[in-house]
Structure 1
Amino acid sequence: MTGTADAAHMASNQGQHEFTWGHEALDARFSLAPDGAPRLVRLAHPGDEHGAAAQSALPLVELTAFGHGSGWSGPRFTGTAFGSRLAHRAHHTSSRNGWERLTVELHDPDTGLTAFAELSSPAGLPVLRSRVRLRNDGRAPLVVQSVSSLLLGGLPAPDALDVHRARNDWLAECRWYAEPLRASVADINTDVHEHDSRAALALTGRGSWPTDGHLAMGALTERDGGRAWAWQVESPAGWRWDLGERAHGTYLALNGPTDAEHQWRIRLAPGEEFTTVPAALALGPDLDTAFGALTSYRRAVRRPHPDHTALPVVFNDYMNTLMGDPTTAKLLPLIDAAADAGAEYFCIDSGWYDDDTRGWWDSVGAWQPSPRRFPDGGLEAVLDRIRERGMVPGLWLEPEVVGVRSPVAAELPPEAFFQRDGVRLTEQGRHQLDLRHPAARAHLDKTVDRIAGDWGVGYLKLDYNIVVDPGTQAPGDLAPGAGLLGHAEAYLDWLSGVLDRHPGLVVENCASGGMRMDGATLAVAQLQSTSDQQDPLRYPPIAAAAPTVVPPEQGAVWAYPQPEYDDGLITWTLGGALLGRIHLSGHLDRMPDHQRALVRDAVDIYKSIRGDLAGALPFWPLGLPGWTDEWLALGLRTPGDVTTYLSVWRRGGPAELRIPVRHLAGRALRVDVLHPAAPDADGAVWDGEGLTVSLPRTPAVLLIRLGQQQ
């Protein structure tokens, strides 16, 4: 249905109280309850007959506000007083730029609040994106304490479901784990009590590191393997999701920040609006397929950039190498070695501005090069050397922080920084800029325009190494969580402005590794740091699981071979990055020729396959990797399954393992071991259903290509 439909029009659409929306890969059905509140009663593939009874579906929008709380107390984000009062007033659909869109307008006559549930989906993908826009059409202010981004009821009962979450800690990112949903939502025998359980499995992310603790994601799988649901909350600040039981089924509620968990609330004066962070839900017959749909969706929503298809090789001088201590003398031989190895970008990491004998941590903010570190020709001479060797120069920057000893801390007005109760906040010797303030934004614009414009730097690694929780309360902020979300959204707007002015600039998003690995930031930045992990034996589970949250072509994975490594460990650390964005590091300048040849071989292999990575979808033939797993595997499927790549790591256990590759079962395939160039023993053998991989020594890694026999 297209155009606009009111309640009278709906009477002729699939009976009296239903309307549908979707496309060839997604079917959504909505039902009007007797109270007038619309509910999403079906979300599935068009050929899937599973649906939901109206009594188990949720209102399309739930929210709480001062004077309008929950219909019943508990930790769940359902059953709010507003949920059943927001009645359908109109809905309309549109198709634009490969997206199908549906907006459902709801209204509460008691307060005059109007809510617009804005649903969208990329054509051909089983992914629903949702956000809610509120407008106060009443006569009195309304203080909103929480509002849903996406709600779905009518999922299978908790007994049939496993829930998947990903712990995400510094140096230990993307650690997925699963448990039965019933372990958190106990069976209380709702028939006896005539009431749903108040229990809920809730997960939250807090503070200015939105993915510190857990990824802003989750997933459900049916235990019989029939269906899977994977979701992400696209918040650059706080977020929450919860699962619970409703009418013998399961519900899912996805939210941005709330008052209870994040000290977030806003006052909507008459005529004012607020829009939630988006949330996205992908469907699939299994977890791999659902994650693949999310991967395609992330490619559809992100800012276009040539880097997403070019995938240049980046050398960064930090990890296990200069570690924040760059000088001209140390950099020049590294630059030559990186160029010889095939690097196309060379990023000088932290320390280039450090001219303070007391240390740079609490003195940053001016972002001027250190004369002490670059005595002959300054930093400009080093940048010129990078260009002379055919590479694009890059610099590390931590734009949002100003050290307490920096002159910038006194030059900018107090209102340009995070504050609480009129006091400027200090965290680890640093102040936090508030990018909503024009002076803060002007300071960073001047900084980046000097670096990217005057100095000709083409790559910025934007780091962020403090966390502020719950946020800032500037004049006009009702609560610190609202101030934090306002700043975080202003930061992304600032970053978009930088890329508008410097369209060739490549930006890497980093926050002590992956502490800001959220969908909102990934939609703007070109690359995402996956970790600061320095132990090459502990990096593989991070690298293998990273495509659950970031497309392979955006996931920066360190490869830091060292001259003291034996050849096996050199091929190990290089091989782990070949199905992501290889971030080369290490003292290549100190290596003998045969070690440098190993590095060049790996970089050449990467360049030969990177054209396939930008459109490939991930899968995990051994399941999502565990932190201590002895064998790990990550696969990438190109469109049409013309070519499949498989990275396999062995850290222990048996020397041989059979790996199923179900989407290729029954085919006659050619097997090529791409890395290392001279694999141990037999490498990999295809038997028509799977691969038998032989790795007699540990640690060992193979990059395998499967394709049609010639």
Structure 2
Amino acid sequence: MTNKRIRHSADGLELIVEITEAGEVKLLYFGVPEYAGQELDAKSYANRRLVEVQCTGEDTFIHHGLKHAGTMPGGRLVYRSHRTEESAGGSSLAIEQHDPVTGLTAVSHFQFYGGLPLARVRTELRNDGGRELPLEYVSTFAYGGAAGEGERLWDDKMRIHIAHNTWCGEVQWKENSLPDLGLFRAFHHSVNRLNVCSIGTWSSAEKLPIAVLENTETNTSLFWQIEHNGSWQWEVGDAEVHQLCVRLSGPTDAETQWFKRLQPGETFVSVPAAVGAVRGGLTEAANSLTAYLRTVRRRNEDNRKLPVIFNDFMHCLWGDPTTEKLKPVVDAAAEAGCEIFCIDAGWYEDSLGEWLPSTSRFEEGLGAMIGYIRSRGMVPGLWLELESVDKASPLVGKVPQEWFFSRRGRPVLDMGRYQLDFRHPDVVKHADETVDRLIRDFGIGYFKFDYNQNSGIGTDRGADSFGDGLLEHNRAYLRWVDRLFARHPELVVESCASGGMRMDYATLSRFSVQSVSDQMDYRLMGLIAAASPSVVPPEQAGIWSYPLAGSDDEAVIFNMVNVIPFRVFLGGQLPQVSGRGRELVREAIAFYKSIREELPGAVASWPLGLPTFASRYTCLLLETDNRYLLAVWRLDDERSRIDIPLSLPDAADYDKHDFSCAYPAADTDAVTDWDAVSGTLCVSLPQRDSARLIMLRKRPQQSSDAI
């Protein structure tokens, strides 16, 4: 008997699973086609296990340190069967293994999508034995050949791209060698690893659940995003002999205090992830993930129409709305061309919890204020923070403590707020009734769902562990969101968590608009905005613009360039902005409306590299079916001109006059020169902290379907 292979090779991704004579299942290859073959020694081959599962009380069988390697009963799993299915949108592969000692059955699921070089993966565990199985770790994806292509050793050729994230500092990519981050060759393998995880209800509080592992020798990359709105973990570690392993998971015992007692007959499904491979680096990986998200995202009209949103919080009313303050802002928003007006925090009575309209802030009540917004031709919206209840809220004394997260018998408090537990049916009922009442009573068509706390490791009420309670709450919340949109399919809901603190694909696949950042400095907002398409598609990325009373023309233009390539979140002191400033706002929104229908197909690239807060010049290039849009930002840089390598196809067919300053249209000096041979555009910006939007219309024969 010889080893058998299961192969998938399509759409730029090749997967090879090998089944040994003894029934061991190995993920032999996961990468770009075509697999050239490798001579693996016995130890290297052993590290290609498809699944890692660790149960309490089980041994491990290799020298591993803190790495999730050599797990048991994962190491005893043997092949039982596999099945493939074809569908209109792609295909799927499921590989079933079984542990004869414990009765654990593990099924590895791979969902492939036509045209995309990736797979959505998850691991399903079923206890087919007669005893409880105490789970500590379950891999969603495990691959021991991450540096197999090429001749050089992994410490020399591999680079890791990690998306750092924090409040007001989102989407800050850093590229490092693995030795730079402490993972270096000490022998033919070490016990070290690069460990990245997120803990709690903010899934992207420190890092985004996305990374790219680049092989600089072969110009290929392995990439992944973990599709979860709670705790997650991934690690890159070396293995015998000079191999590199990648393991992805949701919550774990060692890192995030997750532990699950899997009873006989019970099933547990891991957190899903999308994993893929491309020729190229971060840009190619990000565009593949964008195409994936556009494929799996909930179908909705909002991501096609992209209405312009005004929100009265940022540099405007700061959560203190009244009729007197709101009316001039509503008028200014309508005159600027806004189509949705959201009243942010402060519209409710007392504090977070009951969500009853204030009886003192609005003349003739909230309904009259909502009516005024509608009379100005805009859809009314309200801010909600449904997952939180202020400790001073009357609701706290009216409901049982089982509504809230607790640990060791005591309620969890963060920033003076309790965390509602969406596993409780009455919490779900309360959330349903709140949203339905506001829609019914006031005709609300837009909600901003905010979430300004991280409730940490979870809750142990009715759970096997803190992490178990958190995971089931996370999943219950997503089920509630799915039912909400099933009831109200036309409702537009913005997802916000102090900006981008919950910017994961489980969230992005459901909500049509995502608040990217709470950054209050428009210059830094420009840097965040420019980087955002690496994580959030432009048609979902809500970016703030906030012209102030004292803003000069260049500050207004910079603010508006920040938002034109994305979803417009207009705020600021619009009624007090100068007449010329308001004209610039109207011009920007009018231009946005003329091109917004193309944004849902736009493909992003960064000719000057992905920006960070250290960038002094940056740009973003969006390619649509009909045009190229180039946003250019100059920050604290003395140079008035910048050469931008565009690498356009058929660059020689264009001349300087084909490029124009789309915004502001009056600037006829922004395009200084065009070198058709090198494909380099020279752009001039008039002063520090200025920005321009350049446009190039494609030749008719160049129009093609974008991703």
Residue 336 (structure 1) aligns with = 331
SS in 1 for 2:139: strand
Residue 456 (structure 1) aligns with = 443
Which runs of 5 or more residues in structure 1 are unaligned? 1-10, 191-195, 357-362
How far residue 707 of structure 1 moved from its aligned partner, in angstroms, is 2.8
How far residue 559 of structure 1 moved from its aligned partner, in angstroms, is 0.7
SS in 2 for 1:169: coil
For the 8 Å contact 1:681–1:696, the answer to whether it is kept is: no
Among candidates 336, 341, 361, match of residue 373 of structure 1: 361
Residue 99 (structure 1) aligns with = 90
How far residue 274 of structure 1 moved from its aligned partner, in angstroms, is 0.7
Tell me whether 118-127 or 652-661 shows the greater mean CA deviation: 652-661
How far residue 70 of structure 1 moved from its aligned partner, in angstroms, is 3.1
Tell me whether 567-576 or 408-417 shows the greater mean CA deviation: 408-417
For the 8 Å contact 2:660–2:694, the answer to whether it is kept is: yes
For the 8 Å contact 1:41–1:53, the answer to whether it is kept is: no
For the 8 Å contact 2:558–2:690, the answer to whether it is kept is: yes
How far residue 450 of structure 1 moved from its aligned partner, in angstroms, is 0.6
Kindly indicate whether residue 480 of structure 2 is the aligned counterpart of residue 489 of structure 1.
no
Kindly indicate whether residue 690 of structure 2 is the aligned counterpart of residue 704 of structure 1.
no
Please list, as runs of the form range in 1=range in 2, the aligned pairs for 1:303-322 lying within 5 A after superposition: 303-322=298-317
Tell me whether 580-589 or 74-83 shows the greater mean CA deviation: 74-83
Residue 398 (structure 2) aligns with = 411
Give, in whole Å, the separation in 1 of the partners of 2:216 and 2:630. Answer: 26
Give, in whole Å, the separation in 1 of the partners of 2:48 and 2:526. Answer: 41
SS in 2 for 1:439: helix
Tell me whether 209-218 or 42-51 shows the greater mean CA deviation: 42-51
Task: State the AA in 2 paired with 1:498.
Answer: L
Tell me whether 48-57 or 292-301 shows the greater mean CA deviation: 48-57
Q: 1:277 to 1:663 in 2, by over 3 A?
A: farther
Kindly indicate whether residue 222 of structure 2 is the aligned counterpart of residue 234 of structure 1.
no
Give, in whole Å, the separation in 2 of the partners of 1:503 and 1:317. Answer: 25
Please list, as runs of the form range in 1=range in 2, the aligned pairs for 1:182-581 lying within 5 A after superposition: 182-183=179-180, 184-190=182-188, 196-224=189-217, 226-246=219-239, 247-286=241-280, 287-353=282-348, 355-356=349-350, 363-374=351-362, 376-475=363-462, 477-581=463-567
Spell out, residue by residue over 1:10-69, the C-alpha distance to the aligned partner (whole angstroms, 9 max, x if none).
x7xxx7421112423322111124542212222233356477858355211101111225
Task: State the AA in 2 paired with 1:480.
Answer: F
For the 8 Å contact 2:60–2:71, the answer to whether it is kept is: yes
Give, in whole Å, the separation in 2 of the partners of 1:684 and 1:308. Answer: 35
Residue 685 (structure 2) aligns with = 695
Tell me whether 107-116 or 212-221 shows the greater mean CA deviation: 212-221
Kindly indicate whether residue 585 of structure 2 is the aligned counterpart of residue 607 of structure 1.
no
Q: 1:415 to 1:22 in 2, by over 3 A?
A: farther
How far residue 680 of structure 1 moved from its aligned partner, in angstroms, is 6.6
Task: State the AA in 2 paired with 1:649.
Answer: W
Give, in whole Å, the separation in 1 of the partners of 2:40 and 2:566. Answer: 43
Please list, as runs of the form range in 1=range in 2, the aligned pairs for 1:66-145 lying within 5 A after superposition: 66-71=56-61, 72-145=63-136
For the 8 Å contact 1:217–1:230, the answer to whether it is kept is: yes
Residue 173 (structure 2) aligns with = 176
For the 8 Å contact 2:12–2:278, the answer to whether it is kept is: no
Give, in whole Å, the separation in 1 of the partners of 2:628 and 2:32. Answer: 26
Tell me whether 657-666 or 503-512 shows the greater mean CA deviation: 657-666
Q: 1:50 to 1:624 in 2, by over 3 A?
A: farther
Kindly indicate whether residue 161 of structure 2 is the aligned counterpart of residue 164 of structure 1.
yes
Q: 1:67 to 1:366 in 2, by over 3 A?
A: same
Give, in whole Å, the separation in 1 of the partners of 2:408 and 2:269. Answer: 26
Q: 1:633 to 1:225 in 2, by over 3 A?
A: farther
Q: 1:50 to 1:555 in 2, by over 3 A?
A: farther
Give, in whole Å, the separation in 1 of the partners of 2:315 and 2:582. Answer: 17
Kindly indicate whether residue 12 of structure 2 is the aligned counterpart of residue 25 of structure 1.
yes
Kindly indicate whether residue 143 of structure 2 is the aligned counterpart of residue 152 of structure 1.
yes
Q: 1:667 to 1:141 in 2, by over 3 A?
A: farther
Task: State the AA in 2 paired with 1:454.
Answer: D
Task: State the AA in 1 paired with 2:257.
Answer: Q
Q: 1:161 to 1:413 in 2, by over 3 A?
A: same
How far residue 245 of structure 1 moved from its aligned partner, in angstroms, is 1.7
Give, in whole Å, the separation in 2 of the partners of 1:110 and 1:239. Answer: 29
Pairwise CA RMSD of aligned residues?
A: 1.7
How far residue 112 of structure 1 moved from its aligned partner, in angstroms, is 0.3
Residue 668 (structure 1) aligns with = 653
Tell me whether 520-529 or 132-141 shows the greater mean CA deviation: 520-529
How far residue 207 of structure 1 moved from its aligned partner, in angstroms, is 1.0
Kindly indicate whether residue 58 of structure 2 is the aligned counterpart of residue 62 of structure 1.
no
Give, in whole Å, the separation in 2 of the partners of 1:675 and 1:687. Answer: 22
Residue 359 (structure 1) aligns with = none
Please list, as runs of the form range in 1=range in 2, the aligned pairs for 1:611-630 lying within 5 A after superposition: 611-630=597-616
For the 8 Å contact 1:52–1:153, the answer to whether it is kept is: no
Q: 1:106 to 1:494 in 2, by over 3 A?
A: same
Among candidates 659, 681, 689, match of residue 669 of structure 2: 681
Count residues in correspondence: 681
4+ long deviations beyond 4 Å: 47-54
How far residue 644 of structure 1 moved from its aligned partner, in angstroms, is 2.0
Give, in whole Å, the separation in 1 of the partners of 2:343 and 2:545. Answer: 16
For the 8 Å contact 2:544–2:571, the answer to whether it is kept is: yes
Give, in whole Å, the separation in 1 of the partners of 2:37 and 2:531. Answer: 30
How far residue 182 of structure 1 moved from its aligned partner, in angstroms, is 2.8
Give, in whole Å, the separation in 1 of the partners of 2:516 and 2:37. Answer: 37
Spell out, residue by residue over 1:133-178, the C-alpha distance to the aligned partner (whole angstroms, 9 max, x if none).
1100000000101101111221222321111112111111111111
Spell out, residue by residue over 1:602-626, the C-alpha distance to the aligned partner (whole angstroms, 9 max, x if none).
0011111111110112111111112
Q: 1:233 to 1:50 in 2, by over 3 A?
A: farther
TM-score where L is the length of structure 2:
0.93
For the 8 Å contact 1:665–1:690, the answer to whether it is kept is: no
Task: State the AA in 1 paired with 2:597.
Answer: G
Give, in whole Å, the separation in 2 of the partners of 1:218 and 1:684. Answer: 37
Q: 1:564 to 1:390 in 2, by over 3 A?
A: same
For the 8 Å contact 1:262–1:481, the answer to whether it is kept is: yes
How far residue 563 of structure 1 moved from its aligned partner, in angstroms, is 2.3
How far residue 77 of structure 1 moved from its aligned partner, in angstroms, is 2.0
Spell out, residue by residue over 1:207-242, the C-alpha distance to the aligned partner (whole angstroms, 9 max, x if none).
111111111111112224611222111111111111
Kindly indicate whether residue 571 of structure 2 is the aligned counterpart of residue 582 of structure 1.
no
Spell out, residue by residue over 1:283-315, the C-alpha distance to the aligned partner (whole angstroms, 9 max, x if none).
222221111000000111211111111111111
Give, in whole Å, the separation in 2 of the partners of 1:412 and 1:330. Answer: 35
Task: State the AA in 2 paired with 1:262.
Answer: T
TM-score where L is the length of structure 1:
0.93
SS in 2 for 1:435: coil
Q: 1:513 to 1:228 in 2, by over 3 A?
A: same
Tell me whether 57-66 or 674-683 shows the greater mean CA deviation: 674-683
